[in-house]
Amino acid sequence: MSLTRDLTRLIREKPVTERDLEWASLFVLDTLGCALGALPTEPARMLKAVAPPAQADTARKAFYLGGLSHILEMDDLHRDSVTHPGSVVIPAAWAVAHDHDLGGDAFLRAVLAGYEACCRVGMSVGKKHYRVWHNTSTCGPFGAAFAVAELIGLDDDRTVWALGNAGTQSSGLWEFLAEGAMSKHLHTARAAESGVLASFLAREGFTGAQNILEGEKGFYAGLCADPIPDAVTAAPERPWQLINTSIKPWPCCRHTHPAIDGAIALHKEIAGEAIAKVKVGAYRAALDVCDRPTPEDPYSAKFSLQHTVAIALADGRVDQASFDADARQRMAGERKKVDVGLAPRIEAAYPESWGAEIEVETASGRRLSAARHDAKGDPDNPVTAAELSEKARAQLVAGGNSQARADELIGAILALPDNRPVRSLGLFEIAGDARPQARAARSA
């Protein structure tokens, strides 16, 4: 026996209810809204130049959609595994369901299974893995491969081979952040594509290592200093991991969200008074990734606790414009007032809880504070279905769709549990429409 075989059995024995499928359709809506909303960006143009969906095969369609889904930094986040499963699993499953002309029921069941595989592997890698490796990129291929295995009907043996071949393609390093490079979009693109290739090869009889995780020269040995192998199969009776996944209300790194949530609340109390200093307490992973006092481009600003807290305190909101050149210049002085450090109580609760503590001293000497155990959008502090639909609507319109077309797409995606054919939504036709007149230089 092996961990991947045990994982395969666990997932295939989990019951799926109608409510589970409805949950899955909401996460599909969120991911596709993120993808289509990114179309006017320069990274989207580059992805389309390399992988134009009209000419692409199934794996390269997954690549394109996976890359699109992660550009805006608005895609979902599973806390316990520190992965963005939607931007990998859903593109892979959508590409296969589209090209095989499958219905919404099979597609959504595959999405549930893919999230489960991605998140369970992610929960097993240990905290130290994330300091060098991007969990979404390393664990995502397992989720994409499992979703595709469900859609193309692989038996258990071939599914184990697919997971073995997915794991051997795992990659994705954090070094891109040091230069504000675009590689993070490549991480989700390649993870989605790798999963498709892994399962398609397994269908042909192409074998993969069943001990890819725990083997002497496997995933844990190579990439994980403190793995937790038991996490792969722990608590099989729990609800689907998709249901324990967070939705992002702000377009920046999820590690900044607890602090943003608290800062927006404090904005009302500050009431326009000048700020003297700010202290932010966070957990180690947030500091490793988001301690960036002088971001020089939009992407690094999205990974800056200093910038996101400063602008949330100043404006009472965070949106795409919060990271442009004008906003970065406006916050240059305010960022210098923000000191970030480790909060032991917050660190002890991570990754089960992603929290933050904020203390603000105003120019008059007033002291204000806020703490967040769970950020807005977490399962413990969820967005509503209406809020999620509004988020998707705004992204679809920003991506070049009319209000009416956006509402039509939202309705069609939420109808997937009724077994609406995936191909009928025409997603790749929309995603392949360059619409140059609608492009906005958001990444400038």
Summarize pLDDT for 242-291 with one digit per residue, the tens: 999 999 999 999 999 999 999 999 999 998 999 999 999 999 999 999 99
Distance between terminal CA atoms of the chain? 52
Determine the Cα–Cα distance for residues 175 and 169; give it in Å rounded to an integer. 18
Determine the Cα–Cα distance for residues 285 and 288; give it in Å rounded to an integer. 5
- What would the mean pLDDT of 172-192 be, rounded to a whole number? 95
Q: Is 308 left (phi over 0), alpha (psi -120 to 50) or beta?
A: alpha
- What would the mean pLDDT of 369-379 be, rounded to a whole number? 92
Domain 3-249+383-438 class in CATH: mainly alpha
DSSP class of residue 293 equals: S
Determine the Cα–Cα distance for residues 123 and 329; give it in Å rounded to an integer. 39
Summarize pLDDT for 385-419 with one digit per residue, the tens: 999 999 999 999 999 999 999 999 999 999 999 99
**What is the reported pTM?**
0.90
Contacts of residue 115, defined as CB under 8 A and 6 or more positions apart, other chains included, come to 27, 78, 85, 86, 89, 143, 240, 241, 242, 245
Determine the Cα–Cα distance for residues 205 and 146; give it in Å rounded to an integer. 16
Residue 353: is its pLDDT beyond 60? Answer: yes
Contacts of residue 380, defined as CB under 8 A and 6 or more positions apart, other chains included, come to 373, 374
Residue 433: is its pLDDT beyond 80? Answer: no
Rg (CA), the chain: 21
Band of residue 352 on the pLDDT scale cut at 50, 70, 90: confident
Domain spanning 254-372: CATH superfamily? 2-methylcitrate dehydratase PrpD (3.30.1330.120)
Residue intervals of the chain classified under CATH 1.10.4100.10 are 3-249+383-438
Residue 117: is its pLDDT beyond 70? Answer: yes
Summarize pLDDT for 220-252 with one digit per residue, the tens: 999 999 999 999 999 999 999 999 999 999 999
Residue intervals of the chain classified under CATH 3.30.1330.120 are 254-372
Band of residue 186 on the pLDDT scale cut at 50, 70, 90: very high
| Average pLDDT of every residue of the chain | 95
Contacts of residue 276, defined as CB under 8 A and 6 or more positions apart, other chains included, come to 337, 361, 362, 363, 365
Q: What percent of the chain has pLDDT over 70?
A: 97
Are 192 and 88 a contacting pair, CB within 8 Å? yes
Please give the pLDDT value at position 180.
Answer: 85
Determine the Cα–Cα distance for residues 186 and 127; give it in Å rounded to an integer. 23
Concatenate the DSSP letters of all residues of 86-155 into one string. HHHHHHHHHHHHHHTT-BHHHHHHHHHHHHHHHHHHHHTS-TGGGGTB-HHHHHHHHHHHHHHHHHHT--
Cα-Cα-Cα-Cα dihedral sign, residues 350, 355, 361, 367: negative
